[in-house]
Structure 1
Amino acid sequence: MKTNYFDLINQTFYFPQEEFTLNKDNLQFHGIDLMKLVEEYGTPLKFTYLPKISQNINRAKMWFRNSMEKHGYEAKYYYCYCTKSSHFEFILNEALKNNIHIETSSAFDINIVEKLMENGKINKNTFVVCNGFKRGKYVENIARIINNGHKNTIPVIDNFEELDLLQEQIEGKFKIGIRIAAEEEPKFEFYTSRLGIGYKDIVPFYRKQIQENKKVELKMLHFFINTGIRDTAYYWNELLKCMKVYIALKKECPSLDSLNIGGGFPIKSSLAFDYDYEYMIDEILNQIKIACDDAEIDVPHIFTEFGSYTVGESGGAVYQVLYQKKQNDRENWNMIDSSFITTLPDTWAINKRFVMLAVNRWNDTYERVLLGGLTCDSDDYYNSEQHMNAVYLPKYNKEKPLYIGFFNTGAYQETIGGFGGLHHCILPQPKHILIDKDKNGIIATEIFSEEQQAEDVLNILGYNKNKE
């Protein structure tokens, strides 16, 4: 009779998988023995596996290149990284090794871009695509980098007033894009995205504010669906509506030559994840080419803005199960040495799923559990709502410590959780390490940030202001 944790995983999913293997009864992630990390650094522990970033970027570039060759798609592909997914320097440094471009969403993003320019990480050929609602400091910063000579900065117009605000501060001619306000799926609480300009308003807006404007060159139409790039009738319908706008605009605006299809590639959220990236890329380019050929116009250059896809699968967190609370006849609460609300806020805020596996004791018998965090908040838990099904782990044994890992957590969790700041119940921020491999496959680790200390929190709260 097969009753151990390994058998459960092996019978439920295809295992091992590309990134997950076993060393005896300990889990390995991309060949890294996680128990060795625990022994060296302790828990709770956050980590970033840098090579995964480059791997995902180059896979996407290969898929686009292959599809363009297949369809005779005579235009270029530009991979942009959506910085809001993770702004850390170590993320940008790794991503920019791969000849990519940048997408920004707020004022301070531009300050990061300027630092990258100073350090030679990006150059005049790097596109900086500026999305988001623009006022005040964001407009000022965009104008500054354009005025300082970075002509491949493309502010994407989000509303009717932005163009005037930009023109007031930008010297000379500059490039722009226009964002389409896509219609959302029927299940949404709103019908149309708050971002961008409505389908029917884009051509009139071009005629009124851009067509005779010698200071502005329209280069890009931006299209993004909130639910991401998925093989649904809704997505394909919105893409075709986008192409109708692009074609109508292109026939009046010869300078328009680029279509930005935004981001939205999903990442692995369970061991059962199944998504055909190659098919989706191939069919998107096929639909764009068919529409352009029928209209007798050139196909556009393609821009994407992949954020979660770029960094999500590089991140992980490891916790220790401190204790098991039996609250009734059926519920066993495994209490971790951190908090889901503070370290994986999307599990709490939007019931987001991450890959969750035991790190050790794979040869032990298992049990059904609920996972609880250390805060006093009743919502600080992880259960079947987030996990897609019941949570099973090796049976709790106070004599045999159990460690669990959450994987593909690299996008958004640090910024939403407030890295370096205050956290719910002032629980400390975990230690964060970076993991890299050299060309010979030798693993190297370094500490990016230590676990937060009481003095760090007291300083933020003002208790040490008058300290001598």
Structure 2
Amino acid sequence: MKNKYIDLIEQTFDFPQEEFRVEDNELYFHNIPLMDIIKQYGTPLKISYLPKISQQIQKAKKLFNVAIARSDYQGDYHYCYCTKSSHFSFVLEEVLKNDVHLETSSAFDIFLLETLHEQGLIDKETYIICNGFKRPQYIENIAKLINEEFVNTIPILDNKFELDQLDRNITRKCKIGMRIAAEEEPKFEFYTSRLGIRYNDIIPYYEEKIKNNPKFELKMLHFFINTGIRDSAYYWNELSKCVNLYCQLKHICPELDSLNIGGGFPIKNSLSFDYDYEYMAEEIIAQIKMICDRNNTPEPHIFTEFGSYTVGESGAVLYSIIDQKQQNDRELWDMIDSSFMTTLPDTWALNQRFILLGINKWDSEYERVFLGGLTCDSEDYYNAEAHANAIFLPKLDNEEPLYIGLFHTGAYQESIGGYGGIQHCLIPAPKHIIIDLDEEGEYTTKLFAKEQSHKSMLRILGY
């Protein structure tokens, strides 16, 4: 009778997979024995596996460059990392090993870039795409970069008022972009994104405010689809509208030469994940080329701003099951030694799903459970997987604790959770380690942050 946990996983999914395998009934993540990591550092524990970041970047660069070659597309491809996905120094250091560019969202992002420049990690030729609604400090910081001859700094106009503010602060000629306010999918509570300038206003605004201003050179048209790059009629329709607008604008603005399609490549959030990255990259390039050919317009250089795609699959969080509670005749609650709300806030804020697997006891029988966090909030739980919205884990026994991991958690969770700040119910933030590979291909670990102390919390609270 096949009733062991390993049987369940192998019957439900195509397993083992690229980053997951089992040896001696224990889970390996990118060939790293997770039980050895747990024995060294304990739980709860956050992991950042740096090589995956470079793998993702190189994969996307190859996909788009191959698509460009196959279509005989005349523009270039530029990969930008969306810094808001993870601002950690070790993430940016790994990202910048791959000859890429950066996208910013706020004033403090610019201070971060200045530090990277001081460290020699970026130079004044690096493309810096400045998105977001720009308050005065952000405008001043962008202007400072441009005035200091960061020649590829491109502020993207999010509204009609930012140009005048930039004009007052910038002292030299500079490149700018304009963001299109995309139409949202019907399921949204509103029709048009709050970000960017309306389709119908782009060309009149260019002719009125930019065309005859000698300080500004419109180089980029930017759009972003909130629900990501998907093979859907909605996505292809929005892309088509954007490219057609680009062609119209190019005919009256010869210096315009770049199209920024934003981010949106998905990450693997289930063992049953299926997404044809190659097809999507080739189809995007083919669609842009076809529309440009139809409008007798040179193809634009393509920029992307991948954030979650870059860093998401590098992260994992490991927990211990510290107890089990039977709350009625059908519901078993496995309690973790931390909180989902504080360590993985997207699980309750956005109902985000991550890959969930047991780390040990793969030869044990399995049972259906709910997972509960330590806070007293009723929303601090996790209860959905690919098994018809149920979680199955190895049964508990008194011989060995059960450990579990949630994987591909590397994007946004720390910033949304308030890294280093006050946690719900004062549950401390877990240890955080960095895993890398040495020259021989052996993994190395480094403690980035200890478990949060009560003193640091009390200091923040004014005690």
Give the Cα separation in 2 of the matches to 1:336 and 1:61: 39
**Mapping of residues 200-349 of structure 1, within 5 Å:** 200-349=200-349
Distance 1:158 1:309, change over 3 A: same
Cα pair 1:182 1:238 within 8 Å, conserved: yes
How much does 1:399 deviate? 3.0
The question of whether the paired residues in 2 share the 8 Å contact of 1:351 and 1:386 is answered with: no
Is 1:2 aligned to residue 2 of structure 2? yes
Q: 1:388 to 1:429 in 2, by over 3 A?
A: farther
Cα displacement (A) at 1:176: 0.3
Which residue pairs with 2:89 in the alignment?
89
In 1, the alpha carbon distance for the partners of 2:403 and 2:451 equals: 18
Aligned equivalents of 1:261, 1:388: Cα separation in 2: 35
One-letter identity of the residue aligned with 1:450: K
Who is 1:60 aligned against?
A: 60
Alpha-carbon contact 1:352-1:386 (below 8 Å) kept: no
Q: Which residue of 2 aligns with 1:466?
A: none
Deviation at 1:400, TM superposition (A): 2.0
**Alpha-carbon distance in structure 1 between the residues aligned to 2:132 and 2:235:** 22
Return the letter of the residue paired with 1:143. Answer: A
- What residue is the counterpart of 1:351 in the other structure? 351
The answer to whether the 8 Å contact 2:270/2:386 transfers is no
Aligned sequence identity (%):
63
Q: Greater shift after overlay, 113-122 or 384-393? A: 384-393
| 1:39 corresponds to | 39
Shift in Å, 1:439 = 3.4
CA contact (8 A) 1:356 1:406 kept: yes
Deviation at 1:385, TM superposition (A): 7.6
- Per-residue deviation, 1:244: 1.3
Asked if the contact 2:270/2:355 (under 8 Å) is kept, the reply is yes
CA-to-aligned-CA distance 1:340-379 (integer Å, 9 cap, x gap):
0000000010100000000000000000000000000010
Kindly provide the CA deviation profile for residues 265-319 of structure 1, in whole angstroms up to 9, marking residues without a partner as x: 0000000000001100000000000011111111000000000000000000000
Shift of 1:388: 6.1
Contact between 2:356 and 2:385, CA under 8 Å: does it hold in 1?
no
Tell me the equivalent position of 1:372.
372
1:386–1:425 CA distance, 2 compared to 1 (3 A): farther
CA contact (8 A) 2:272 2:386 kept: no
Rounded Cα–Cα distance in structure 2 between residues aligned with 1:362 and 1:24: 8
Structure 2 gaps of 5+ residues are none
Matched, 1:163 2:163: yes
Q: Distance in 2 between matches of 1:402 and 1:166?
A: 56
- Letter of the 1:237 partner, please give it: N
| TM score, norm. by length of structure 1 | 0.98
Determine the structure 2 residue equivalent to 1:71: 71
1:392 alignment partner AA = F
The secondary structure found in structure 2 opposite 1:177 is strand
Partner residue of 1:198? 198
CA contact (8 A) 1:433 1:449 kept: yes
Q: Distance in 1 between matches of 2:379 and 2:190?
A: 27
Unaligned runs of 5+ residues in structure 1 are 464-468
- Whole-angstrom CA distance in 1 between matches of 2:388 and 2:270: 8
Task: Please say if residues 354 and 387 of structure 1, whose CA atoms lie closer than 8 Å, have aligned partners that are also in contact.
Answer: no
Amino acid at match of 1:221: L
Task: Report the residue type matching 2:394 in the other structure.
Answer: P
Q: State how far apart, in whole Å, the 2-side matches of 1:381 and 1:211 are.
A: 55
Mapped partners of 2:44, 2:74: distance in 1: 50
- The 1-side partners of 2:14 and 2:188 are apart by 34
Distance between the aligned counterparts of 2:164 and 2:213, measured in 1? 11
**TM-score between both structures, scaled by the size of structure 2:** 0.99
**Residue 152 of structure 2 corresponds to residue 149 of structure 1:** no
- 3-state SS of paired residue (1:384): coil
CA apart distance, 1:148:
1.1
Q: Offset of 1:384 from its aligned partner?
A: 2.2
Q: Which amino acid in structure 1 is aligned with residue 406 of structure 2?
A: F
Contact (CA 8 Å) 1:351, 1:385: kept in 2 or not?
A: no
